């Protein structure tokens, strides 16, 4: 799964990276080195007039949901089953998005039962774009709540020592086809693939990231990890 990530680029940098016109930039979010579920996040999506950079809440709330609490349980969608799930299938057909990230965090089990956090990111510092789905929920007073989820797949072979799942990182050449509302199911399936090996590298980081209140670039600074002997 993907339950925590970093998105530290400025709105201006994101607009340039995704080729978004100035009048299509709606997000004003600041850098966040510890993005957690139900927080507002940046997303690139197309409502029919070209891609926009906007903000949504992390945790998909389908338009038909009785209340928004379901979103806390829908922060991820498995690419293997998303086409069949009522919460995701319509969004997968018509409401796909890209979620900008600098990397994501995972916790690997250690022999003593503790967990070591890792930050998974590109060595060259390039931006990542997670495959996402979005929807808009309306409350009884008519107020709109836009939300999104991150698609996940099997982790590539070089990351499985850290976790067996990973967010789907979309190669740059697939962005336009993924966002295009005219793309049919075959077109979408053609680009929706698990993250490939070699895209990101894990590096151990300190335990501070486990506190959702912690923030700042120090969270992704690498730390030395002492190998632990087997318990038995």
Instruction: Return the active site residues.
Output: 2, 106
Residues in CB range of 102: below 8 A, 6 or more apart: 5, 6, 7, 8, 9, 121, 127, 128, 220
Find all residues with CB under 8 Å of 6, minimum gap 6, and list them. 32, 33, 34, 35, 101, 102, 103, 104, 105, 119, 121, 219, 220
Q: In this structure, are strands 5-7 and 32-35 parallel, antiparallel, or unpaired?
A: antiparallel
Beta strands in the chain (DSSP E): 5-7, 32-35, 40-46, 51-58, 76-78, 96-101, 103-109, 115-121, 128-138, 144-154, 165-167, 201-204
**CA–CA dist 105, 37 (Å, integer):** 13
Sheet holding 5-7, edge to edge: 32-35, 5-7, 103-109, 115-121, 201-204
């Amino acid at each position: 799964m993907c339950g925590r990530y970093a998105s530290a680029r400025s709105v201006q940098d994101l607009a340039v990276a995704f080729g978004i016109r100035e009048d299509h930039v709606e997000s004003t979010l600041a850098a966040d080195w510890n993005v957690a579920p139900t927080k507002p996040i940046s997303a690139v999506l197309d409502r029919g007039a070209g891609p926009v950079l906007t903000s949504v809440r992390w945790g998909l709330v389908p338009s038909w949901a009785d209340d928004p609490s379901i979103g806390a349980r829908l922060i991820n969608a498995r690419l293997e089953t998303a086409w069949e799930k009522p919460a995701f299938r319509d969004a997968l057909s018509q409401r796909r998005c890209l979620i900008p990230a600098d990397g994501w965090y995972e916790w690997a089990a250690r022999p003593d039962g503790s967990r070591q956090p890792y930050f998974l990111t590109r060595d060259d510092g390039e931006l990542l774009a997670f495959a996402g789905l979005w929807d808009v929920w309306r409350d009884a007073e008519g107020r709109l709540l836009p939300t999104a989820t991150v698609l996940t797949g099997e982790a590539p072979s070089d990351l499985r020592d850290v976790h067996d799942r990973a967010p789907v990182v979309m190669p740059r050449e697939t962005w336009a086809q993924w966002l295009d509302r005219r793309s049919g199911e075959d077109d979408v399936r053609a680009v929706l693939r698990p993250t490939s090996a070699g895209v990101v590298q894990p590096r151990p980081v300190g335990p501070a990231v486990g506190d959702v209140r912690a923030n700042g670039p120090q969270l992704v600074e690498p730390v030395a990890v002492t190998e632990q002997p087997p318990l038995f």
